A = this chain, B = another copy of it.
Amino acid sequence: MTATGTATARAFPNIALVKYWGKRDESLMLPAAGSLSLTLDAFATTTAVTLDARAAADRFELNGEEQGGDRLNRVARFLDLVRERAGSAARAIVRSRNEAPTGAGLASSASGFAALATAASAAYGLPSDPASLSRLARRGSGSAARSIVPGVAVWHAGDGDETSFAEPVEAPDMRMAIVTVDERQKAVSSREAMRLTALTSPFYGAWVSSTERSLEAMLEACRDGDFTRIGRITESHALRLHAVIQSADPPVRYLSPTSIAVFDAVVRLRDRGVEAYATADAGPNVCVIARPADADGVAAALREFGRVRVVGPGSGAELIPDGGAAA
């Protein structure tokens, strides 16, 4: 709880098995429904926050490059929230490094704001319990709430700021094969598409209520250690996500021909008795979950569609000895 003036934290991206798509409160970043994800053990973001009482403004360095514009503003607005809670006026320099290769199709905002929330809380002396960090990370980027937590995490929709945070869920061990089918920047940002969906899709209300039901079923499947059921819910829920997005007006389509080919290949794997299940976020890349023993075979079967990296459950956001990221 004591400000140290400087702190470094590391966090990993997460991929949702029950997706977050839609906010019920834009300023508090409260989601329309709960979600569930796997925090990965790769593609970390490491972020150092150093207070500078004499500086007139925050600074943000990403992968060694000084940032301005929207990126800097988003970090500065987040730090404003931290300062308000900490009763501090000190500006900070934030130095961040992403291990995700550009275009891996992994949004770095979840790992980024989880690491920033953790480092900034330590640097400014805010509470460092996971629930507080998760609530704080949520304000930077909704899905960052989940990257505070190791392995499988449920992010509760909650009934307000106090109760909308992520916590760990017991689940069977699994691996995820991430298939990068397209490295280009997507045409419509998730943030924009999320807003468009809520405003224009006739299916949006049913999407929100069905997501709550999928989450309940998923939590039960996790409790039962039932990988098959986890997989089925994951894939059918992902297809509903893309269904609700493409039902917006104008329609938004994130799955490319190759994404569909990966979904088809996953169906063929199952027909051959290999239990693999596909999901995809707001982009063309596809993530396929499998039991640990099947993961390498699944990855080999999907290599014809793009680069494949097999990842597993990773740690939550953690403070690490200073200096690593600032290099």
Contacts and interface: CB of A to CB of B under 8 A. Distances in A.
A210 B203 CA distance: 9
A323 interface: no
A240 interface: yes
The A interface, classified by DSSP as helix, strand, loop or mixed, is helix
A246 to B, nearest CB: 5
Given A202-B206, A206-B203, A210-B202, A253 B247 contact: no
A250 B240 CA distance: 11
Bin the interface of chain A by size.
20 to 34
The count of identical subunits is 2
Given A205-B206, A257-B257, A257-B261, 11 more contacts: A203-B207, A203-B240, A203-B243, A203-B244, A236-B249, A239-B253, A240-B251, A242-B246, A244-B247, A256-B264, A257-B258
A263 interface: yes
B239 A246 contact: yes
A232 B264 CA distance: 28
Contacts of A240: 202-203, 246-247, 251
Contacts of A255: 260
A246 B264 CA distance: 13
Interface string A197-232: 000001101110110010000000000000000001
Nearest to A211: B202
A260 B263 contact: no
A246 B235 CA distance: 11
A69 to B, nearest CB: 27
Nearest to A256: B260
Contacts of A235: 251
A316 to B, nearest CB: 32
